[in-house]
Amino acid sequence: MAAAPARSLSFSSSYRRCNTLFTLPFPSSSPRSNVVTLNRTLRQNLNLQISAVSMSLQASPEKKTSETSFLDCKESGFLQFVKYHGLGNDFILVDNRESMEPKITPDQAAKLCDRNFGVGADGVIFAMPGINGTDYTMRIYNSDGSEPEMCGNGVRCFARFIAELENLRGLQSFTVHTGAGLIVPEIQDNGKVKVNMGKPILTAAEVPTMLSPNKDFSVVKSDFDVDGVTWTVTCVSMGNPHCITFGRKGEQNLQVDELNLAEIGPKFEHHHMFPARTNTEFVQVLSRSHLKMRVWERGAGATLACGTGACAVVVAAVLEGRAERSCTVELPGGPLDIEWREDDNHVYMTGPAEVVFYGSAPL
């Protein structure tokens, strides 16, 4: 396909044809959209549409359409999606509002998430019809194809995705059914998303963990042997399981940058004390309201951020007497504000969610 001549007129966010373009968003202040034109034959050969062979800025047609209007273009054998990220924790968002059946299988999701042979993402998220009186249902597959109950960064991206699909502006709030129950994200005026993440679950059997519980059935500041090394851990479920450690037994202040996460992470994730596997957070206390963490996620490995993980970390830090209920949690991808409220026992998470690009991939 010949590239359209670039002109310094006005630029459009329209899609000329389904499945032949994907766009990179300009900053929201810009009225223009950067359109990448794809050679269809080569695209099919290379297995994914996002192998761009020519790039041009398309001149404006008269009629303006929404950037997500291309999601309406249904060509069988292709998946239309929007890629989002929350602090570098990235997801392929799929408009699945017409069915309770995910448009793709866990195997297909794992292939799409591959960073070399696919789109590249930490997971695939489906926006589905609500149930039990909720506005929407959110389901997610991890990059290994497993299905977790919840995803904190993902639900912020989900809220922005819904606002875009429904063409909503400004302050918005939705009720979302998830595997962890009712979750309520609220898009704020500044574009950040504040999420009521519900109550943390501390009962060992419900996390679930087989580590010996304390008298109140929780696992807080407990010894945990991993390959001959004893770590001090607290276990928290935010709908999905988390094992939080502030260091090895007797260690004063864990330096998280010094950890070999790829070596130690899988040993926690697959430890027989966690029958549903676990996410693991390694935490350094910078002050009583400032924590720094690195995460090894169940089904996704080392990621740049984990929303449910940051919530679980603040709960664990409070239970261990290391921090206040309101903290900034520093993740490799940036900070999240977390508050575990005393009055309702709910955890609130506030952070960004951004569009990366609009795409279409063969299945």
* Active site amino acids: 151, 306
Shortest Cβ 86–ligand LBFN2T5F spacing (Å): 7
* Cβ pair 31, 10 in contact under 8 A: yes
Residues 3-22 that bind ligand LBFN2T5F (CB under 6 A): none
Number of H helices, E strands in the chain: 5, 21
* 326-331/290-297 β-pairing: parallel
154-173 residues near ligand LBFN2T5F, rule: CB under 6 A: 154
Burial of residue 320 (number of CB atoms within 10 Å: 0-12, 13-18, 19+):
middle
Our finding on whether 198 is near ligand LBFN2T5F (CB under 6 A) is no
Query: What is the SS3 assignment for 103?
Result: coil
Of the candidate residues 19, 80, 279, 350, the single one contacting ligand LBFN2T5F (CB under 6 A): 279
Cα–Cα dist 182/202, whole Å: 18
Amino acid residing at 23: T
- The single residue among 13, 308, 350, 360 that binds ligand LBFN2T5F, judged by CB under 6 A, is 308
194 scored as a contact of ligand LBFN2T5F (CB under 6 A): no
Nearer to ligand LBFN2T5F, 11 or 296 (CB): 296
Q: Is 240 in the site for ligand LBFN2T5F (CB under 6 A)?
A: yes
Interatomic CA distance for residues 199 and 343, integer angstroms: 11
Phi, psi of 157 (to 5 degrees): -60, -40
Which residue in 13, 33, 58, 89 binds ligand LBFN2T5F (CB under 6 A)?
89
Q: Which of 213, 265, 307, 351 binds ligand LBFN2T5F (CB under 6 A)?
A: 307
299 belongs to the binding site for ligand LBFN2T5F (CB under 6 A): yes
Q: Which of 348, 349, 313, 346 is nearest to 199 (CA)?
A: 346
Interface of this chain with ligand LBFN2T5F, residues 27 to 86, rule: CB under 6 A = none
108, two tokens = 């297909």
**Peptide bond preceding 208 in cis form (omega within 30 of 0):** yes
Choose the binding region for ligand LBFN2T5F from 185-193, 213-221, 283-291, 303-311 (rule: CB under 6 A).
303-311
Cis omega before residue 241 (within 30°)?
no
Count of chain residues binding ligand LBFN2T5F (CB under 6 A): 18
> Binding of ligand LBFN2T5F at residue 234 (CB under 6 A)?
no
- What distance, in Å, lies between the first and last C-alpha atoms of the chain? 23
In the block, tokens 């790829």 appear at: 262
Residues 310-349 within binding reach of ligand LBFN2T5F (CB under 6 A):
none
For residues 36 and 236, which CB has a smaller minimum distance to ligand LBFN2T5F in the complex? 236
Stretch that binds ligand LBFN2T5F, among 146-154, 194-202, 206-214, 263-271 (CB under 6 A): 146-154
- Residue of the chain from 90, 95, 281, 297 that contacts ligand LBFN2T5F (CB under 6 A): 297
In whole angstroms, the minimum distance from the beta carbon of 91 to ligand LBFN2T5F comes to 9
Between CA 24 and CA 34 the distance in angstroms is 6
What angle do the packed helices 307-319 and 152-165 form, to 10 degrees? 140
Q: Is 142 in the site for ligand LBFN2T5F (CB under 6 A)?
A: yes
- How is residue 27 annotated by DSSP? P
Among 102, 148, 198, 351, binds ligand LBFN2T5F (CB under 6 A): 148
> Contact at 8 Å (CB) between 277 and 241?
yes
Q: Which residues bind ligand LBFN2T5F (CB under 6 A)?
A: 89, 142, 148, 151-154, 240, 279, 297-300, 303, 306-309
